[in-house]
Amino acid sequence: MHIADGGNEVLIQALLFLGAACIVIPAMRKARLSTVMGFLIIGVAMGPHVLGRLAAEAPWLGAFELDDAEPTMLLGELGIVFLLFIIGLEVSFERLWALKRYVFGLGFAQVAITSIAIGAIALAFGNSFSVAAVLGLAFALSSTALVLQLLRERSQITTTVGRASFSVLLMQDLMVVPILFIVAALSPGSGAFSENQVGVALITALVAIGAILILGRLLLRPLFRWVAGANSRAVFIAAALLAALGMATAAEAAGLSAALGAFLAGLLLAETEFRHQIETDLEPFKDLLLGLFFVTVGMQIDIALLLAEPLRIVIGVAGLLALKTAIIAPLARAFGLSWPRAIEVAFLLGQAGEFAFVVIAAARGGGAIPEATADYMLLVTALSIFITPLFASLGALIAKRMSNAKIDAPLIDAEESGHVVLAGFGRVGETLADLLNAQEIAYVAVENDASLVNHARKRNHRVHFGDAASSEALAGLGAAKAAALVVTINDADAVERIVREARRAWPHIPIYARARDAEHARRLHAMGTALASPDSIEAALQLGEALLSGVGVPDEVSRRVIQDRREAELSKAIYRDPG
């Protein structure tokens, strides 16, 4: 088989990327560092500014250089598209509507205030109005790809921090169109623009989003039903790729970002029965391509420029992170987040974003900013993204210490809802928390054993010290707006007291409880629990399954026998008359 020179070069680049990922990413995981940092390091080390320059002295090193050619950049951008598509699958329209206060309030306020503040500082340092405006608009945006990936790695997508951060990022994506319009208008020779044109651009963007949603709702579900009927996983994956890339292309053609179009596609498919299978099939595409995107960001970091003007660059990066953090934290607090959560959101969103590269390129191409300023802005953008995993970890640490120092403060944010409340965090509570984390379902727990609380917090569990039998403590966890209450403590009297109080205070919330035995389970069910699981019966069933397998009963048969017995015992616990 003959491969043309261009195709051969692409294959070599792919091999270099995969090889570097296989070496660096496992090392980052063992060091308990973010994989994003690993991909950024690969981009810096193997890009044109480090390995590329070393190859000038030792040509053989050129064989290991990653090229920042257009195909590589395009594949990296596809990573962002797939990330937003997957995020869309995890968000329903109902959830999105619940975030409207964060999106149009917190998000818009962040973009407006940050743009004005950075622009004013740039003017104060002697920059022209056009340069100051581009600086403000570009640096007001944060990295959607980076922040969402960090939230997913930490299982925080569905938490208050995740929802608030996602809302701000969504508004920033919506603002890309008017920002690019303003940048184009600032270019020499473009002429002045009227005050109505930005509004027209916003209205055009909203109309385009509405059209995409209507067409998508009409076409996507019938398409997937047709494809699913073929019973071919390959065709199903092709349909998922078509949906993500098709909607991304449609959005881009309408002047929006491709990532926003992919998010809308995911949002539409989140309401269908195909959501989970699509997410499973596209996850590997997303992870690899998103990793390649972070590699391309690393390639933008010019070490020579950094070494030539280290103080100016460091001041720029530190100033950007500090200013945005100082703006976002009070804004998040004003919109109902507690101070620890507001700090965490601010540290997550402090960097510049990938769309800053687009804004800077457009401004440089139109002559709105000089070449030297554009190079400086690109380096500050890339370095701020590079340092964010560490900066966000610092924010999480500060938030954790603030939470520990204020036990008597409200335990969750006023806007939190749809989460699971765990009363007790021993062995059973921690197991349930791990299961909820794996499904990215938000939870919060209360435990009266200080050592257990401290141990759980070290593993990033959302646990607070308090009396789980107190309705005030459960109210502080947001039980009134919870999706469910689970009582896991090993004290029969305390369990009944909690169930009684919770049922009286919040009759609409389903309660699941740990019972001592079948008799205890019947009493709890009479009090109104959705399910009470007897410890003694479950222990006997687990022992029985192991025994049956050990004496030669096939695993499938033993599992079926035990499951039938489990259902029978639960039925007895629920329906048998206690008398």
Closest CA to 43 of 409, 305, 299: 299
State the pairing for strand pair 443-447/420-423: parallel
Is 305 within 8 Å of 313 (Cβ atoms)? yes
Q: Which residues of the chain have pLDDT under 50?
A: 1-4, 192, 406-411, 414, 575-579
Asked if the 68-405 domain carries CATH number 1.10.645.10, the reply is no
Span 481-534, pLDDT tens digits: 888 898 888 778 888 888 888 888 888 888 888 887 777 878 888 888 877 777
Q: Rounded to an integer, what distance in angstroms lies between the CA atom of residue 91 and that of residue 148?
A: 13
Residues 275-303 as b or e (16 or more Cβ within 10 Å = b) = beebbebbeebbbbbbbbbbbbbbbbbbe
Neighbours of 471 (CB within 10 A): 17
Give the E-state strand segments of 318-461 in sequence order: 420-423, 443-447
Closest CA to 367 of 185, 152, 117, 564: 185
- pLDDT value, residue 2: 44
* CATH class of the domain comprising 420-575: alpha beta
Where in the chain are all domains bearing CATH 3.40.50.720?
420-575
Secondary element (H or E) of residue 484: strand 484-487
- pLDDT value, residue 394: 92
Where in the chain are all domains bearing CATH 1.20.1530.20?
68-405
Neighbours of 53 (CB within 10 A): 15
Record the pTM: 0.63
- For 59, half-sphere exposure in the C-beta direction (CA atoms, 13 angstrom radius) is 0
Strand partners, 420: 443, 484
Q: Rounded to an integer, what distance in angstroms lies between the CA atom of residue 62 and that of residue 134?
A: 36
Secondary element (H or E) of residue 326: helix 310-334
How big, in percent rounded to 5, are the helix, strand and coil portions of the chain? 75, 5, 25
The full length of the chain comes to 579
Record the tokens describing residue 342, joined without a space: 């507001």
Helix (H, G, I), strand (E, B) or coil at 445: strand
**Residue holding tokens 């030792």?**
58
- pLDDT value, residue 140: 93
Q: Rounded to an integer, what distance in angstroms lies between the CA atom of residue 149 and that of residue 170?
A: 15
Which residues, in sequence order, are CB contacts of 8 under 8 Å at separation 6+?
A: none
Secondary element (H or E) of residue 297: helix 275-299
- pLDDT value, residue 36: 73
- pLDDT value, residue 277: 77
